[in-house]
Structure 1
């Protein structure tokens, strides 16, 4: 087979899959190329927690032999993917960003990893993440760097997933999102990311941060890619009784359906109050693009989310305290200060206060569900400003107002469980990507995919990559 052409590492999953299926590119060759790129670049990017080189090459060889024999499994067959170090990988360390678990070698794959392998994907390795999937990396971990500019934030907690995918070290990745951790990293690195409805994707074999807020989803270069990955990982799972049993639609078919007649809601006040001019311009351009594509833009009033944003942190803290009962406080000294403080806050919250949060959350979920009876999608920022510098992020603990602003458009949809799609929509004056967010009703992933694919067929923001 021919040598790999230049910039093969920036192909989309679907582009690479077509070449693999036609036997123009060898799964073994492309896997070797990815491993070489990781070895060359990741000493600076720090996106991988561990590389599974021998396993990946064996999987690539199996895929190559199967495809040569006419046993093609689908669009992930032979495609190198990586997964956040949250997800169990049989026999290979899964630490969840924590030093406590650095020697943890699971006896089985997480359901999502098993499904990727059944689809023929090549698992390159485990991607670095914040400690326990909360907001800060353990002091012993070197945080992943943003491949666009090392002085800028890579997002949390799926930071390694974003850095590796944006840098062309894998063709797609799995992340998780408890308060914005698929959306912030994708927005910061020019990626497309889908946070599915809560329960649409099994959480079996994934380290837990907050059980009712955790969502597992794909991060990739375009909507078709996240659709292909979601197609494989979504669905009921006997090992996870909270995984939804609703049938999984043909997500890839949705990529060609367009947005003609689709009702997209926009709250002019919510989308502009405290939102910087550059981000507003990105939103306005996205609205104009959707109008030109035939969507109906409808002005709406989103329910007041301030209290629900305030409630997210204590809600998450209580659930995190439960998730860490086996090791906290027994091994408190091995925790980083940020995660430890969150767990302490959760342990201190009264049952009465927690119940009040749950009641407010139920009411808010009902109000959001009512809104989606009048629209098909909601368009919002991911955050009210362009990507933040690491210098600014280092001051978050001293700026509660900045934290609230950062969470304003993300946390509400973990509290409700609605699916979201993050799309790149422009760049800041500093040359950093800016994303926006689409939100759908529960199990509305196919609508998100329709809208994301239509936008990306008409724009080229997702085709821009960092110069590495």
Structure 2
């Protein structure tokens, strides 16, 4: 058991404490709500707090436990969800002003499944407008708890800030081009972008439906596995969900990586990468070798043109997602999302077809790599966490966006699962990060590898000083 304050403990730890009666769910939930009231005025991670309902859920969780009903590791544990997941009990605005006050007719499937697993929902977390790059000008952007002058990542910004600052034990994020992975990288978190179709998107606002993924963000691979287990599986309401069995991800925890085949394309992983990022990745390779993994050299299929096509491919689908409100309510949109939609409206069919062909070719060739490896290692971003000043043109300048998406966009196109996890700190004291990528439906392999790394390193256990 670690000596972390209650709010910085893992899901596994706090869940065991609740089950053993060392704490109550009500006590933990009150502690979290008090902390949010104390410090989130500075961090701005929550857009809507569900305090009264959360306490009612916690009371029900305690009563169920007293009656001998235990729902699993999430029983009574307070978490939070990105504000693009439908909820009937709180508005869902998806970072926009257009949907201010929108009350959904049903919960998102992922919300229902988490609550069925016993989770307590503290509230809805802030995000960029429509899940693209920029926050709406009228909605304050969340602040990085490690250093408020540094980028917090997009679009799951509040979903990165809240668990990093100890304001929930885990969160839900979404990822269309890197939006689970960037906030995990900048906030020192672990996150899983699952295989496309592994987790239902029913009741989740779309950015680009063929690229959108929903996944967990937490403090460890083991914690992410708990959340993923509760959410994963076929959903009759989502025609893109996969009707295949869901493995018991908990069996991968503690299994180790002896004789596991971990691929690395050194040209891809290290070319043009900041020295601090490269050094941390090299050290991670050494850790895996020490643990008994086999490091295998691979060559990634050509990806440059595909990354260049991401904005266009996202744009055409975003234009469809917003066709009921754009251009009819164009004046209510922020500049980044409006610019993206305009690009989508102006893209020709032949341009879209070229992008689609690039996607198919990369996806097929990339999946073929896993005939010889179990998973692949690469950075999450080519540089350490940038400052806000460095990212002022993010979203408006395609060159800035393309540069940072080199390690994220390809796996949204291919629908491949990835786990993002911290692997060091830079000279400015900001977290560094890496990615483990698996074959489709290969969540078990990346969970196994990520957990093995975290079993012998402590980067994921460190947390910012939040004051309060």
Q: TM-score category by the smaller chain?
A: over 0.9
Looking at structure 2, the residues matched to 19 and 431 of structure 1 have their Cα atoms a distance apart, in angstroms, of 32
Rounded Cα–Cα distance in structure 2 between residues aligned with 1:111 and 1:14:
23
DSSP-derived class of the 2:342 partner:
helix
Over residues 144-197 of structure 1, what are the superposed CA-to-partner deviations in whole Å (9 max), with x where a residue is unaligned? Answer: 000000000000000000000100000000000000000010010110000000
Q: Does 1:322 align with 2:324?
A: no
Query: What is the aligned counterpart of 1:129 among 127, 135, 138?
Result: 127
Aligned mates of 1:315, 1:10 — CA distance in 2? 39
Per the alignment, residue 174 of structure 1 pairs with 172
Contact 2:336-2:396 at 8 Å conserved across structures: no
The answer for the alignment partner of 2:330 in structure 1 is: 332
Contact 1:91 1:107 in 2 (8 A): no
Which residue pairs with 1:41 in the alignment? 39
Mapping of residues 285-434 of structure 1, within 5 Å: 285-396=283-394, 400-434=398-432
SS at match of 1:391: coil
User: 3-state DSSP class of the match of 1:269?
Assistant: helix
Deviations 1:75-104 (A, max 9, x none): 000000000001011131000000010110
Please give the alpha-carbon distance, in whole angstroms, between the structure 1 residues aligned to 2:393 and 2:245: 45
Change (3 A) 1:90 1:267: same
Give 1:250's aligned residue.
Answer: 248
Contact between 2:336 and 2:395, CA under 8 Å: does it hold in 1?
A: no
Q: Check conservation: 1:202, 1:243, Cα contact below 8 A.
A: yes
Q: CA shift at 1:402, angstroms? A: 3.0
8 A contact 2:176–2:211 mirrored in 1: yes
Change in Cα spacing, 1:85 to 1:397, as seen in structure 2 (3 Å) is closer
> Which residue of 2 is the match for residue 441 of structure 1?
439
Distance 1:415 1:187 in 2: 20
The secondary structure found in structure 1 opposite 2:378 is strand
RMSD, aligned CA: 1.0
Please say if residues 216 and 224 of structure 2, whose CA atoms lie closer than 8 Å, have aligned partners that are also in contact.
yes
Report the CA distance between 1:399 and its aligned residue.
5.2
- The answer as to whether partners of 1:259 and 1:293 remain within 8 angstroms in 2 is yes
Question: What secondary structure does 2:18 align onto?
Answer: helix
1:93 maps to which residue?
91
Aligned to 1:460: 458
Is the contact made by 1:210 and 1:320 (CA closer than 8 Å) also made in structure 2?
yes
Number of aligned residues: 464
The correspondence of residues 59-98 of structure 1 with structure 2, limited to 5 A, is 59-98=57-96
* Mapped partners of 1:160, 1:38: distance in 2: 13
The equivalent residue for 1:113 is: 111
- Once residues 238 and 395 of structure 1 are traced to their aligned partners in structure 2, the CA distance between those partners, rounded to angstroms, is 41
Structure 1 runs not aligned, ≥5 long: none
Measure the CA separation in 2 of the matches of 1:92 and 1:110. Answer: 12
Change (3 A) 1:38 1:369: same
1:350-406 deviation line (CA, Å, top 9, x unaligned): 111111111111111111011111111110001111000000000336754332220
TM-score calculated relative to the size of structure 1: 0.98
The change in CA–CA distance for 1:398 and 1:315 in structure 2 (over 3 A counts) is closer
Give the C-alpha shift of residue 257 in structure 1: 1.5
Question: How many Å apart are 1:344 and its aligned residue?
Answer: 0.7
Q: Taking structure 1 as reference, are residues 354 and 192 closer, same or farther at Cα in structure 2, changes over 3 Å only?
A: same
Listed one character per residue, the Cα deviations across residues 207-236 of structure 1 (whole Å, up to 9, x for unaligned) are 000000000000000011000000000000
The structural deviation recorded for 1:256 is 2.1
How many Å separate the matches in 2 of 1:89 and 1:33? Answer: 24
Distance, in Å, in 1 between the alignment partners of 2:400 and 2:179 is 17
CA distance in 2, matches of 1:201, 1:6: 31
How many Å separate the matches in 2 of 1:112 and 1:401? 34
How far apart, in 1, do the equivalents of 2:78 and 2:161 lie? 15
Q: 1:108 to 1:396 in 2, by over 3 A?
A: closer
Following superposition of structure 1 onto structure 2, how do residues 190-209 of structure 1 map, counting pairs within 5 Å? 190-209=188-207
> 1:72, CA displacement in angstroms?
0.5
